[in-house]
Structure 1
């Protein structure tokens, strides 16, 4: 069996951490909270209401990629992975399957306003503007983040089993 490397992606408030942690538990894999790998400067930048630029994101993405590599048996990681170039960076040394959790803006705003997190709701529109949904040739699947959690987890497991039409099943 090959290593299972999964990145649960999407904008802030979509449920990456919740889905990622529960999926990791169901698959018997470690869960890595991507936000915990942000340098302190990035967290402070976002906390102060300023979006990160690519130069600030690259070291963070490299940390996540390195962390994925360290888990020889595989892992589930939460990471916004908003752009295709970011996903390519995460996949450079790993075969990574991306699960994009998609949620409408209004629901995201509601979720973000009811939680404590360094990412303010004022940055949501910049994330949505940056987001490049998974392309058909990328190894991954898009899931409805408004589904209840058991259904969302079942959809994620089905996507992992089926893989993508272009690349086939994930292989485990």
Structure 2
């Protein structure tokens, strides 16, 4: 982990991990989430795929989502997380979870959720989003995400990693923190 979080918070010993990889567009949520799920033998949930078509169309046209428009999407992610945990499966979800209230909403479905915040600067996020192909999120919306971003507070079940680090380092640090080693 980086200097902002020496260890990731963990659930009770032997508990099934429920992790949300969070941050602004371009921080690497999906890449880290997929690799982390594979390393933990967990199910991966791609939050972007759970957006309703109306939300995708709004974002593709450069319109940021409101809190109200995010509610159903957050609920869909929370329900999937809870279903995996109920089945005894570890789960890693990629979801921006930009505000404290969004993280609280997700935690309402599964109180054991641990958030892994991938911290990145606006310039790097814009460059990454502008460089990717075939994604609905335009680089023009990156600023709107930073405008509402509430990084996890010290009292949240969260840890922070520098999203500019190589993928292998991010996953290794997350696994160490989750396993408490």
Instruction: Give the TM-score normalised by structure 1.
Output: 0.92
- What does residue 138 of structure 1 align with? 156
SS in 2 for 1:100: strand
* Structure 2 residue 94 is the aligned partner of structure 1 residue 78: yes
Runs of 4+ in 1 over 2 A off after TM superposition: none
Tell me, in whole angstroms, the C-alpha distance in 1 between the residues paired with 2:26 and 2:163: 10
Determine if the alignment matches structure 1 residue 29 to structure 2 residue 26: no
Q: Shift of residue 55 of structure 1? A: 0.7
Query: Pick from 88, 95, 108: which aligns with 2:104?
Result: 88
Counterpart-to-counterpart distance in 2, 1:40 and 1:57 = 12
**TM-score, normalising length from structure 2?**
0.87
Unaligned ranges ≥5, structure 2 = 1-13
Deviation of residue 150 (structure 1)? Answer: 1.2
How much does 1:105 deviate? Answer: 1.1
Q: Secondary structure at the match of 1:71?
A: helix
Instruction: Output aligned runs, 1:6-155, within 5 Å.
Output: 6-72=19-85, 73-94=89-110, 95-116=112-133, 117-155=135-173
Tell me which of the two structures has the higher relative contact order, counting C-alpha pairs closer than 8 angstroms and 6 or more residues apart: 2
- Report the Cα distance in structure 1 between the residues aligned to 2:22 and 2:82, rounded to whole angstroms: 18
SS in 1 for 2:109: coil
Q: Give the secondary structure class of the aligned counterpart of 1:99.
A: strand
Q: Structure 1: which 5+ residue stretches go unaligned?
A: 163-168
Deviations 1:10-56 (A, max 9, x none): 00000000000000000000111000000000000000000000110
